[in-house]
Structure 1
Amino acid sequence: MDGELFPERVAWRSGPIITGHVVRLMEGYSREVRIGQPILVAVLSTAALVKVVLLLLASVLRAGAAGGARRRWGELRKGPEFLVTPLRLRDGGGVLCEMEIHGHLPQSALEPDDHVQVTVRSQKAEGLAPRVERIVNLTTGQLLTPRTPTLWSHLGPALLLQAGLGVVLLGGILAWVLIGR
């Protein structure tokens, strides 16, 4: 049969572990991480509290504006992008399975015909192939764990430190008010 006119059906197996041979790594594309608005509001509001205190101190000391360039709400709300690479492999029963690798892998990590053991998990969004959590390349003996950016890596250590200081400052103000009464 002609493979172009009658393509082979692809299955989405839920796993959790699928063993087979790599058929093809397809072309990757980018997808955004969704950011929850309540978490973002909490982090930015506690960080803003520290920013206000620093600006007040700077104006008293006439040291100029505190802080550097900051990212806008839309940039933070958009979320980071990560690479999605569809992977097709043929399992022990001869079934062609498709799954998604989220994040980057080394260029030579997977080659066609490599014997692999893949740990997959279904995704929250309906209509998406299962997500690869871990790949054991039995041909080369490599253990591969793709990593995607998270909310915390997207916000960055400086903003998270500032938000942490804001929580401490807010807690100190609340304790002072409650103890003062």
Structure 2
Amino acid sequence: MDDTELHRERILRHVSPIITGRFLGYQASYTREIRIGRPLALFVFVSAGIAQIIAALLRMRPVRRTLKELRKGPEFLVTPVRLRDDLGQTYEIEMHGQLPQSALHRGDLVQVRTQPQADHTLPVKLLQVVNLTTMQPLTPRIPTQWSHLGPALLLQAGLGVTILGAVLAAWLR
């Protein structure tokens, strides 16, 4: 056995929604994709398609995206964060999104609010952190399904639903 195995730090999974400890630092970040459900993507795609047909007739340039692009969803940054509590136990928490680099410094006393993830093999997800050293509350921001779809496409989908509703109302009269 070598020395690194003798002194290997045990990383714990925390189950409580609140963890208080010292900020040890960020680990290597990576990206993860948010999948958009097939029913939502199909609804937006078809609704926007109706508006795109009308826009093509009026010689306007609609926003065009494939169903595959819509389903792919946005990517967000995942950064493992390590904390050490007063008992010396080390915890790893996943932070989705980003915080300003100057928000946390090694050794700062922090209190984090966490939530379990759908995949129980992953560490808990950081929802909010309060830097007790500076008394600054911080919330990481991640892209959502709605920001991925974009305002232009959502407006087209809304217009498509309105047009379809008007056509159906006229037809059923």
| TM-score (structure 1 length as normaliser) | 0.88
Aligned to 2:71: 77
Q: CA RMSD in A?
A: 1.6
Mapped partners of 1:141, 1:161: distance in 2: 41
Aligned to 1:51: 52
Q: CA deviation at 1:154?
A: 0.3
Q: CA deviation at 1:70?
A: 2.7
Offset from partner CA, 1:118-171 (integer Å, 9 cap, x none): 000000123111000000000111111001111110010000000011111111
Match of 1:71, as an amino acid? R
Aligned to 2:112: 118
Unaligned runs of 5+ in 2: none
Q: Secondary structure, in 3 states, of the residue corresponding to 1:108?
A: helix
Match of 1:53, as an amino acid? I
Match of 1:45, as an amino acid? V
Q: Secondary structure, in 3 states, of the residue corresponding to 1:120?
A: strand
Moved over 6 A (4+): none
Aligned to 2:16: 15
Match of 1:49, as an amino acid? I
Correspondence 1:158 to 2:152: yes
1:126–1:116 Cα change, 3 Å: same
Unaligned runs of 5+ in 1: 59-65
Aligned to 2:98: 104
Mapped partners of 2:35, 2:69: distance in 1: 12
Aligned to 1:89: 83
Aligned to 1:177: 171
- Percentage of pairs with the same residue: 51
Mapped partners of 1:98, 1:23: distance in 2: 10
1:159–1:69 Cα change, 3 Å: closer
Count of residues in correspondence between the two structures: 171
Offset from partner CA, 1:90-139 (integer Å, 9 cap, x none): 12332211100100111111111100000000001231110000000001
Q: Residues 63 and 153 of structure 2 are in contact (CA less than 8 Å); yes or no, is this contact kept in structure 1?
A: no
